[in-house]
Structure 1
């Protein structure tokens, strides 16, 4: 996903996070879906016109399962999709261990992801910190991957407002992933204040389920963003269908409001 390809996301669209097809999620004792169940989920996602898929090296078997699925798609179909992954964290992670963002670890992670997924449209730094964004060698490594064409675009995934603001002040990256929902308005406000061109990738749209029964959570995203990918995470086809319907309803309402 080069800077040009990143512009293929012109409005707000729904994407699918794939942690649940590779490791226990959202709780440590959750069952991991089988490869057959994962393929059924991915098939349905394509039928629902979802084209953005977000995985990570830290998502267990997720990259391997997704890579096998992509390898069985017609080339023309694969070209329609945007495949994002992340480096910088592994799973399982020893208790108390911090993500390894050394260049050696990142290179090894990238090579594995590339082997499993084939072409990578977007490579993100998982759990990016302010210190990472001050590391010229790390920034140059990411820029080099993009310049060489080994990845289409580069981005970061952050979990603090401080890191979000620092990422937005760094002109290196194409995308920034962060939590965005009505219970975390400060992240969204920070993004709006920065007035940068980064494509926002919005995770935890339902606040890990806390907003599931509080109306349509996607109304928040369609009102707050002109251009973004909202990442829903699920392993259940019925849940995916419900989220897609709710997202479509929020988009329709936003369009109606704009026309009034």
Structure 2
């Protein structure tokens, strides 16, 4: 039996809440995005302001996760009382537990466990926080070594949620994303493919999964991109000496289009027709407005050729990402 294709709303840019639901994150310069403080109420107000701005700009997809601090709760508060036709489509994720206790310098910010017990607990927590089931529920950072794609108890429960009308997805991370996605595409429950969507890390520095994402799209899966600006490395905030040459190329192409680095990076992803949605991880209203300029970028063949040279070896990209500081 074929997949039931998950249709994501226009425009093809959504708002991710990874940097808006907790005081610390690894995005470069994240600490500058919270001018009114990082206590719970200040961050709730900031998150609500970002959601309002996103809605005014026409954004109709919002991405959350259990491990994003209080992101689901902030989103649920904002959604409360809004008519159904004034709600964005919501995707969320399970599999990581937030453990930082609202501390930026915590030793451990989140703990991963892909067990049936965690799925059952976090599904209940998601329903309580949002007030309704998300349209898309995803395994957070599924990997081959976590064993989640072979865990019958977990897969059967996800199949039950699918049969209740919730689209099921997975997110991927690390240099083996393509292998993980290929394995997930083969998973079936009751003779029907389980996964309706994939959310993968892809950007100009780390494009290695794009070929497998195109195959997933051809197989009927919705394709969502996260970390489109490489946690700030593809923005004006990056002053890393090791990225200087790549950023010169990025600036030259962005200058031809009259946009910033971030908009060009997102526009490059939108240039791939199999990409259904690119998440903006903006931490401020100004960043979000700048990200949305990607919708006006139309790349020429010479642009694509120049930008192709920015790709890093996946192992190098993920090593650099793993060294970014929580701030």
TM-score computed with the length of structure 1 as normaliser: 0.85
Q: Distance in 2 between matches of 1:96 and 1:121?
A: 27
Change (3 A) 1:129 1:147: same
Q: Using the TM superposition, give the Cα deviation of residue 221 of structure 1 relative to its aligned residue in structure 2, in angstroms.
A: 1.1
Aligned residue for 2:280, secondary structure, equals: strand
Alignment partner of 1:164 is 2:181: yes
Pairing partner for 2:90 from 77, 83, 86: 83
Q: Distance in 1 between matches of 2:213 and 2:11?
A: 15
Which residue number corresponds to residue 140 of structure 2?
A: 126
2:97–2:111: 8 Å Cα contact kept in structure 1?
no
Is the deviation greater in 51-60 or in 162-171? 162-171
Which residue number corresponds to residue 63 of structure 1?
A: 72
In structure 1, stretches of 5+ residues that fail to align are 256-260
2:226–2:278: 8 Å Cα contact kept in structure 1?
yes
Instruction: State which structure, 1 or 2, has the greater radius of gyration over its C-alpha atoms.
Output: 2
Q: Using the TM superposition, give the Cα deviation of residue 20 of structure 1 relative to its aligned residue in structure 2, in angstroms.
A: 1.9
Provide the aligned C-alpha RMSD in A: 2.5
Which residue number corresponds to residue 285 of structure 2?
A: 237
Alignment partner of 1:103 is 2:102: no
Which residue number corresponds to residue 248 of structure 1?
A: 295
In structure 2, stretches of 5+ residues that fail to align are 101-106, 188-192, 237-249, 255-263, 301-327
Aligned residue for 2:232, secondary structure, equals: coil
Which residue number corresponds to residue 135 of structure 1?
A: 151
Q: Distance in 2 between matches of 1:62 and 1:174?
A: 23
Aligned residue for 1:64, secondary structure, equals: helix
Q: Distance in 1 between matches of 2:170 and 2:110?
A: 20
Count of residue correspondences: 245
Aligned residue for 1:126, secondary structure, equals: strand
Change (3 A) 1:17 1:96: closer
Q: Using the TM superposition, give the Cα deviation of residue 51 of structure 1 relative to its aligned residue in structure 2, in angstroms.
A: 0.7
Alignment partner of 1:192 is 2:214: yes
Q: Distance in 1 between matches of 2:209 and 2:89?
A: 24
Aligned residue for 1:181, secondary structure, equals: coil
Q: Distance in 2 between matches of 1:89 and 1:107?
A: 13
